[in-house]
Structure formats: structure tokens, C-alpha cells
Chains A and B, each alone.
Chain A
């Protein structure tokens, strides 16, 4: 009787890592494996297999832990190769791996140019109502109202990315941060919107 699977559709596409590695000569050391989850990014992400170890039969067996294998790989994520090898064990059971054929490897693993650095602004305009409020407050205190009001932007300091940074003094930011949406981005979504 054919199996009929019921349930949500999965985003995974491919085989488990053991299914691939177990069928290869020398357990596929030197070959390249990709995860379909990582293929959503424009830059290439792939694993080059360095070493394969089978695992002990687990005491409490389940569908998930029976299909695992420990594989040491050189990981490249979005075009950036990790300096140290990475072990795949916990995620090895996921049916999301695909083996690259040898003639495909060179084309797939081509190096990408580093992304252009986006420079974010330090300040932005106040929201109109708040700006009006501040100006009035200044007037009542008799302070100078001619100075242009700018709001200091608070960014997430933990964000660790090489392609994003905050503008230094006098630098022109490449990303505009317009709170009042004076100009809409030129995309098809806003084609028929008139400001």
C-alpha cells in the first residue's frame, strides 16, 4: 500500500546527510554538499566535507537520532568561508542536503565580490508633531528656534555585519532614512501612489 503523508508541507528539499555520505567513496571526503535552506540567498553557501564519523547507536531511538552522522566540514555561508571547520551533527538528520556533482562544483563555489558597504545616517528628522512641540517649548523658554532639529538615531549595537556601518562625521550616508516619507521608493508597489 502506498504511503500517504498528511501534514504541513515542508521547506526542506533533499536527503539526510548520511544518505548522501554513506553512498560515496571514502564517505565523500572532498565533495561539496549544499543545504536547500541556504539557497535562498544570492551568495553561494556550501559545505566541503573534510571528515566523516559514524555515531554510536542511540540508547533511546527515534526517527530523528537514528539518521544522524558526524561530519566535519569547511562551511561557506553567503560567500564567506569560516576560518575553522564546523561539525554538523545535530542538523545532519534533516532531509535538506544535496550533493553537488563534481562538474557543478566549480561553477557553484565561485567566489563572490564582497558586498558594497551601506552607510547609515547618524541623525534623522523629528516626526512633524513632535518637532512642532519642541519648537513651541523652545519658544516659551525663549531659546533659539532657528537651529535645525535633528533626532539622533539609536541603532542596534549588537549588529555585527561587515556590510553595514554608521556614517562618520561629514560622510554622506548611502541609505536614506526618511521618517516622513517625502519620497516613495521607486518600486512597482508604489506605482500608482501619488504623494
Chain B
């Protein structure tokens, strides 16, 4: 059949028309990737004008050729296509289809059953994990709250201790008096070992701190 198709030539009067498109067929020519030759750079080729009659005839022939080829292809497909041939026995086809469908359906049901079991196990496991996670989270939150409370109480305790050394308005004069009487000298000297020796004229800061 293939040989027949390849031998099949619809009548095309090649010699009857004057123009024939030839693409990349001439042998001694420059390769396609070469740029336009310098001498041809500014050459403007004349636009070819074909006679209207010829154009029409070529178009008609080509249209006819394509239609004929399409029709023949369709004919041969309808005539020799295996799938199209088998369609004649509809009863058998229907039966075969139903058998195939039942087989596929049973396989599908089996898969569904298997997946259902897996899904149940997975969901139970996930639920357990969720419960565990929630429990841990609750314990963690309680622990954090207790810690925060502890920290707050620590702060309060420290503040209470600090209250004792605060300067009250009644003490103010006394404290100022003390500060004036004990000026602090932050100047220091450094000996060869790098020790700082505070105080030049007045009491050193250390001494003040110690006194306070």
C-alpha cells in the first residue's frame, strides 16, 4: 500500500507554468550563514510580477491538489485503518468494554480499600501526635508563666531592699552636706606595672565608695 501511495502522483502540469519557487537549491552558492556580499549590499531586487492569469491558474491547481490529497488520505484511512475496521462489531466491542471496565473497577476498589486502611492508621497516628504536642505545649506555657512570676517577684524583692537606701526629702540636706564634705577625685596616676593610683588632691573614688 505504501508503495502504491508513493507512486501516486496527481497530475500536475509542471511545465505549463513559468515560475517555480526554488529555495536553496543552486549548488555553487555561498553558505546561508555568510553575510550579504558587499557588492550586493545595496542591490534592490526588482519585484517580480506574474501574469494574473497564471497566478490564478497556479492557485487553482494547488488548491485542487491539496483537496484531492486530503480526500484520498481520508479514503485510505477509512478503508484501511484497523481501529475503524474493528468498530463494525459493536456488541463485541461493548462486551469487551464492559469487561475491561469491570476489571479496572475491581482494581480501583482494591486500591481504594488499601488506601482507606492506610488513611485510618495515618489519621489515628496524627491525632495521637497532635494530643501529645498539645500536652507538651500546655506544660511549657505553664512553666514559662511560673518563671515569669518568679522573675517579677525577684524584681520586687530587689526593689524593696533598695528602698532602704533611697534618699528621702528629710535626708536631702544631710546627704548634700556629706557630698560637699567629701569631694571625689577621679584623677589617677599609673605606675610601671600599670596599676592605677587614684586621688591627687582629694579623696579617691574608692575611698568614697568604701566610706559610703
Do A and B come together as binding partners? yes
Question: Which A residues are within 8 Å of any B CB, using their own CB?
Answer: 6-9, 124, 127, 129-130, 133, 151-155, 177, 179-181, 185, 187-190, 193
State A181–B65 Cα separation when bound (angstroms): 12
Question: Which B residues are within 8 Å of any A CB, using their own CB?
Answer: 4, 7-8, 10-11, 13, 16-17, 42, 44-45, 47, 53-54, 57, 60, 64, 67-68, 70-75
Residue of A nearest to B15 (CB): A193
B10 and A179 within 8 A (CB): yes
Residues of chain A contacted by B73 (CB below 8 angstroms): 154
A127 and B67 within 8 A (CB): no
Residue pairs across A and B with Cβ atoms less than 8 A apart, 17 shown, are A7-B44, A124-B68, A127-B8, A129-B7, A129-B8, A130-B4, A133-B4, A151-B71, A152-B75, A153-B67, A154-B67, A154-B73, A155-B67, A179-B64, A179-B68, A189-B17, A190-B16
Q: Beyond A9-B47, A181-B11, is A187–B57 a contact (Cβ under 8 Å)?
A: yes
State A151–B75 Cα separation when bound (angstroms): 7
State A155–B57 Cα separation when bound (angstroms): 19
CB distance from B7 to the nearest CB of A (A): 7
The 7 lowest CB-CB distance pairs between A and B, nearest first, are A154-B70, A154-B74, A154-B71, A181-B11, A153-B71, A179-B68, A6-B42
B53 and A187 within 8 A (CB): yes
CB distance from A168 to the nearest CB of B (A): 19
Residues of chain A contacted by B42 (CB below 8 angstroms): 6
CB distance from B120 to the nearest CB of A (A): 55
State A8–B44 Cα separation when bound (angstroms): 6
Residues of chain A contacted by B7 (CB below 8 angstroms): 129
Interface centre among B11, B54, B73 (most CB of A within 10 A): B11
**A155-B67, A189-B53 provided; 9 other pairs, C-beta below 8 A?**
A9-B44, A124-B68, A124-B71, A130-B8, A152-B74, A177-B64, A180-B11, A189-B16, A189-B54
Residue of A nearest to B4 (CB): A133
State A7–B67 Cα separation when bound (angstroms): 38
Residues of chain A contacted by B75 (CB below 8 angstroms): 151-152
Residues of chain A contacted by B16 (CB below 8 angstroms): 189-190, 193
Interface centre among B10, B16, B60, B67 (most CB of A within 10 A): B67
Residues of chain B contacted by A133 (CB below 8 angstroms): 4
Residues of chain B contacted by A188 (CB below 8 angstroms): 53
